[in-house]
């Protein structure tokens, strides 16, 4: 087992991403910062459209520019800012030092190429291997991700694979070059719970063997509770809370995190009680609010929340939240309720 050290392998700071559209400029990511250490798993969670996937795709250079653009921020891989420098020591870090598992493997894989050839192509480009050696390595990694009869499967096309096998093939492609960081974008979406469990066990096993860092993009808090070491909660293009998995699940410090937890089904959920949805909708990122983006939906919002942006507060060592409730002067009681979005 490889023990993680304290220095982050990937450190993203103050990342801002915008998109030009016919309706105006969408401020999709607004000052996002996070880091992940070797051998550890960081889960980035939040509702659909909060900016999770855009954040990682932009640092990987997978966001079309234009219409997208990174207006500010850095993403340092072992100290090198890969936002501005994708080629390090003559090698492209994408697919090499950073691997990525995409949300929809059927659309990510080329339907006209054999699965083994697609994995081998990565090794030929990044490792300079011959076609024969690269294909042999592709068979090895397919076997590593528990695909039966890997040699025969490597010679098949994606349509011959089931959904779970396609996701395993994507994992095989992502880890073929033994990356330092693996980004998994909703890797268990649309899979049944048995296949989900198998994939999570597979990722954990690969992490223990290679010591790679994993950035897990998901909205499934059950998956987060099982595999994550650290958690970053995103809302409206910002990280509103971050800390260890225990911090976020047992000592949640932001009303949005509390809302997500309340909306989770559990053994105690009954037909009489039901789930507790978060009322309202996220803010319009064409015109983001001046203050807290969650104020209009927050049951604990105060007068200050509408016009003034909250600062990032360290609630406990290593546990941060962007919320006025943690300010030393925050009032307590019904007089603090935010009404109608106006101070």
Whether residue 279 is predicted with pLDDT greater than 70 in this model: the reply is yes
Q: What is the pLDDT of residue 269?
A: 53
Whether residue 77 is predicted with pLDDT greater than 60 in this model: the reply is yes
Whether residue 282 is predicted with pLDDT greater than 60 in this model: the reply is yes
Continuous segment of H or E residues that includes residue 184: strand 181-185
Q: Are 176 and 136 in contact (CB under 8 A)?
A: no
d(CA 261, CA 248): 10
* Domain residue extents for the chain: 105-175, 254-336
Q: Tokens standing for 4?
A: 């993680």
Kindly indicate the confidence band of residue 90, based on its pLDDT and cuts at 50, 70 and 90.
low
Distances in whole angstroms, Cα of residue 214 to Cα of each of 31, 130, 165, 197, 231: 21, 29, 20, 17, 12
Better-predicted residue by pLDDT, 253 or 267:
253
d(CA 163, CA 187): 11
Q: What is the pLDDT of residue 339?
A: 38
Q: What is the pLDDT of residue 188?
A: 77
Least confident of 19-28, 146-155, 156-165, 273-282: 273-282
Three-state DSSP class for residue 244: strand
Kindly indicate the confidence band of residue 2, based on its pLDDT and cuts at 50, 70 and 90.
very low
* Residue 94: DSSP 8-state: B
d(CA 147, CA 156): 12
Average pLDDT over the chain reads 86
Q: What is the pLDDT of residue 208?
A: 87
pLDDT tens digit sequence for 115-161? 999 999 989 988 888 999 999 999 999 998 888 899 999 999 999 99
Return the C-alpha torsion angle 6, 10, 16, 18, nearest 10.
-160
Whether residue 334 is predicted with pLDDT greater than 50 in this model: the reply is no
Backbone torsions φ then ψ of 143, nearest 5 degrees: -70, -35
d(CA 182, CA 188): 15
pLDDT tens digit sequence for 195-254? 788 888 888 888 888 889 999 998 888 889 889 999 999 999 999 999 999 999 999 999
Q: What is the pLDDT of residue 330?
A: 73
Q: What is the pLDDT of residue 164?
A: 82
Whether residue 180 is predicted with pLDDT greater than 60 in this model: the reply is yes
Q: What integer is the mean pLDDT of 9-27?
A: 93
pLDDT tens digit sequence for 35-49? 999 999 999 999 888
């Amino acid at each position: 087992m490889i023990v993680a050290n304290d220095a982050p392998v990937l450190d993203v700071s103050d990342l801002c991403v915008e998109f030009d559209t016919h309706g105006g400029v969408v401020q999709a990511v607004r000052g996002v910062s996070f880091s992940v250490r070797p051998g550890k798993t960081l889960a980035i969670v939040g509702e659909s459209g909060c900016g999770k996937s855009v954040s990682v795709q932009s640092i990987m250079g997978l966001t079309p520019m234009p219409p997208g653009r990174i207006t500010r921020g850095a993403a340092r891989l072992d100290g090198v800012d890969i936002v501005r420098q994708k080629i390090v020591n003559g090698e492209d870090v994408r697919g090499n030092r950073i691997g990525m598992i995409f949300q929809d493997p059927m659309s990510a894989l080329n339907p006209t190429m054999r699965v083994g050839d697609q994995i081998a192509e990565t090794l030929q480009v990044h490792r300079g291997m011959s076609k024969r050696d690269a294909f042999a390595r592709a068979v090895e990694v397919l076997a590593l991700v528990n695909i039966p009869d890997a040699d025969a499967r490597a010679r098949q096309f994606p349509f011959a694979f089931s959904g779970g096998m396609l996701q395993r093939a994507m994992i095989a492609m992502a880890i073929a070059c033994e990356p330092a960081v693996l980004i998994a974008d909703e890797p268990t979406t649309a899979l049944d719970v048995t296949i989900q469990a198998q994939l999570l066990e597979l990722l954990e096993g690969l992490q223990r063997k290679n010591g790679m860092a994993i950035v897990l993009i998901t909205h499934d808090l059950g998956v987060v509770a099982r595999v994550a070491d650290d958690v970053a909660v995103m809302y409206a293009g910002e990280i509103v809370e971050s800390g260890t998995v225990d911090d976020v699940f047992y000592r949640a410090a932001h009303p949005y995190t509390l809302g997500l937890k309340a909306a989770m089904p559990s053994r105690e959920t009954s037909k009489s009680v039901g789930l507790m949805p978060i009322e309202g909708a996220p803010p319009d990122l064409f015109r983001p609010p001046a203050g807290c983006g969650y104020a209009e939906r927050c049951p604990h919002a105060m007068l200050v929340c509408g016009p003034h942006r909250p600062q990032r507060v360290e609630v406990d060592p290593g546990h941060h939240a962007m919320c006025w409730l943690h300010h030393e002067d925050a009032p307590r009681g019904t007089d603090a309720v935010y009404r109608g979005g106006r101070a």
